[in-house]
Amino acid sequence: MVFYRGVSLLSKLRSRAVQQTNLSNSVRWLQVQTSSGLDLRSELQELIPEQQDRLKKLKSEHGKVQLGNITVDMVLGGMRGMTGLLWETSLLDPDEGIRFRGLSIYECQKVLPAAKPGGEPLPEGLLWLLLTGKVPSKEQVDSLSQELRSRATVPDHVYKTIDALPVTAHPMTQFATGVMALQVQSEFQKAYEKGIHKSKLWEPTYEDSMSLIAQVPLVAAYVYRRMYKNGNTIPKDDSLDYGANFAHMLGFSSSDMHELMKLYVTIHSDHEGGNVSAHTGHLVASALSDPYLSFAAALNGLAGPLHGLANQEVLLWIKSVVEECGENISKEQLKDYAWKTLKSGKVVPGFGHGVLRKTDPRYTCQREFALKHLPEDPLFQLVAKLYEVFLQFLQNLAKLNPWPNVDAHSGVLLNYYGLTEARYYTVLFGVSRALGICSQLIWDRALGLPLERPKSVTMEWLENHCKKA
Ligand SMILES: CC(C)(COP(=O)(O)OP(=O)(O)OC[C@H]1O[C@@H](n2cnc3c(N)ncnc32)[C@H](O)[C@@H]1OP(=O)(O)O)[C@@H](O)C(=O)NCCC(=O)NCCS
């Protein structure tokens, strides 16, 4: 049974926050909004006109306000630090990390409904928050879980399409292929072909997005069971919540693994708009490609080793350390091993980030989960040691941003509960990302955001421009 910790807990949190303002981990005064409607689509319908007006006002009153200067470094440096995207569902601060609609991960853990007292937030609750900016009640989360359950069927041709690939194909290739095969049922595409008015485009986007979010765990679980369990699939269990059901279909029945999956899906869902997968989804959708096409494109970006594939690489790297040096590796040995990786022109996966300049809070909450559930696990202890090694030695030695990101931790948790197939990990990330990317796609169409089309220039253009400057 779902346990709701929302409104009553909030008042407790508010008074506690006032009492504990000097404690570094105290919850700040939460200005959370709630609402009572149970139907998510109707809730959105109500919110959209006011957000459209807000955007119109911003444009007409402040459209010409400058947000910064663009330098040659920015153009050559992958657009780092260049503000150029509107992304409503989350915002990333380099020091503090991610906030989903203004709430930190810690705050989400406190205020979003959980499946059991003190448990991890239900991803459905996070989805409601991402879409509406409001903290849902237990009844609203129940209603959304039901909506997702009712959409969680996958046509047979999708499985047949995946089966056409060699079983050895990378799991992300199989997963993205499955998502492309789902596209044939796109309501958006049908509505567009019939000539839908542009003000209504968010409606079929909502239909496709919610179906896609409901379907991806089934496709992902199929890939896992096909590759690693001789194709013995496990039917969905409608008595379970989204995260638990996903873990169940993969073949994991322990309640701790179900909790981990809820945490995993929640924290991997969204990371503002500039990361490769989110930006790709948003860019492709700006051409009015439907959510299936857009999300499949996003998955292909996520499959890169500097982005989502890093979670697979971390566990493989950790296992290679253990193979060479054993589990009781000293800090000195660990430093030497990491240094050897760096000197060979490779990255140490799980460290550094395009934006973050402090420990990723997604790392911290996974560490807290590990301290609670698997404090003695040798691989967890190795991860903790690696953190110290980076801060003490490698940041000076290698002049690196030494802070760990989300991927530095996820593999050892999954491995502990028996999900040991590291090559599969990015698929879990992909399932989670559907929540964030699809939520923003609905708002992209509701706000009528235009075709994305930045200007590019040649080196010659830059050289000439600089000479004149
Ligand atoms: C994520 C990442 C691509 C960000 O790179 P970035 O935006 O260029 O970050 P920085 O500006 O701090 O990088 C400065 C330099 O350090 C290097 N660097 C950063 N993190 C590194 C790491 N973990 N291992 C080795 N080198 C690293 C970069 O490649 C860059 O090298 P260059 O100047 O030769 O191009 C990078 O940190 C990385 O490759 N990390 C490992 C992969 C990973 O964990 N990805 C998941 C991110 S959530």
Please give the number of the atom of ligand 1 that sits closest to the Cα of 342. Answer: 25
Fold classification of 309-417 (topology level):
Cytochrome p450-Terp; domain 2 (1.10.230)
The pTM of the whole model exceeds 0.75: yes
Q: By C-alpha distance, which of 202, 215, 43 is closest to 137?
A: 43
Say yes or no: CB of residue 400 within 6 Å of ligand 1: yes
**Per-residue model confidence (pLDDT) at position 398:** 78
Q: Is 34 exposed, middle or buried (0-12, 13-18, 19+ CB in 10 A)?
A: middle
Q: How far apart are CA 187 and CA 193, in angstroms?
A: 10
Q: Which residue's CA is the nearest one to ligand 1's atom 27?
A: 347
What's the gap in Å between 299 CA and the centre of ligand 1?
21
**Per-residue model confidence (pLDDT) at position 394:** 82
Say yes or no: CB of residue 351 within 6 Å of ligand 1: yes
Helix (H, G, I), strand (E, B) or coil at 317: helix
| pLDDT tens column, 226-263 | 999 999 999 999 999 999 999 999 999 999 999 999 99
Say yes or no: CB of residue 171 within 6 Å of ligand 1: no
| pLDDT tens column, 351-378 | 999 999 999 999 999 999 999 999 999 9
**Per-residue model confidence (pLDDT) at position 36:** 81
Say yes or no: CB of residue 353 within 6 Å of ligand 1: yes
* Mean pLDDT calculated for residue range 163-174: 98
**Per-residue model confidence (pLDDT) at position 155:** 98
**Active-site annotation holds for 307:** yes
Q: How far apart are CA 131 and CA 69, in angstroms?
A: 32
Say yes or no: CB of residue 165 within 6 Å of ligand 1: no
* Mean pLDDT calculated for residue range 179-191: 98
**Active-site annotation holds for 353:** yes
Edge-first strand listing for the sheet containing 97-100? 90-93, 97-100, 103-104
Q: How far apart are CA 336 and CA 321, in angstroms?
A: 10
Please give the mean pLDDT across all residues of the chain.
Answer: 93
Say yes or no: CB of residue 350 within 6 Å of ligand 1: yes
**Per-residue model confidence (pLDDT) at position 35:** 77
What's the gap in Å between 304 CA and the centre of ligand 1?
13
Ranking 7-11, 34-38, 109-113 by mean pLDDT, the lowest is 7-11
Q: Which residue's CA is the nearest one to ligand 1's atom 39?
A: 306
Q: How far apart are CA 19 and CA 163, in angstroms?
A: 58
**Per-residue model confidence (pLDDT) at position 22:** 33
Residue 30 pLDDT level (bands cut at 50, 70, 90)? low
Say yes or no: CB of residue 402 within 6 Å of ligand 1: no
| pLDDT tens column, 192-207 | 999 999 999 999 999 9
Q: How far apart are CA 224 and CA 213, in angstroms?
A: 18
What's the gap in Å between 261 CA and the centre of ligand 1?
27
Q: Which residue's CA is the nearest one to ligand 1's atom 41?
A: 349
What's the gap in Å between 353 CA and the centre of ligand 1?
6
What's the gap in Å between 320 CA and the centre of ligand 1?
20
Q: Is the pLDDT of residue 300 over 90?
A: yes
Q: Which residue's CA is the nearest one to ligand 1's atom 37?
A: 352
Q: Could you say which of 307, 360, 409, 444 is catalytic?
A: 307
**Per-residue model confidence (pLDDT) at position 14:** 39
What's the gap in Å between 392 CA and the centre of ligand 1?
18
Q: Is the pLDDT of residue 13 over 70?
A: no
What's the gap in Å between 346 CA and the centre of ligand 1?
10
Say yes or no: CB of residue 233 within 6 Å of ligand 1: no
Ranking 51-55, 151-155, 261-265, 389-393 by mean pLDDT, the lowest is 389-393
**Per-residue model confidence (pLDDT) at position 213:** 98
Q: Could you say which of 170, 279, 353, 409 is catalytic?
A: 353
Say yes or no: CB of residue 354 within 6 Å of ligand 1: yes
Q: Which amino acid is at 311?
A: N
Q: Is the pLDDT of residue 299 over 90?
A: yes
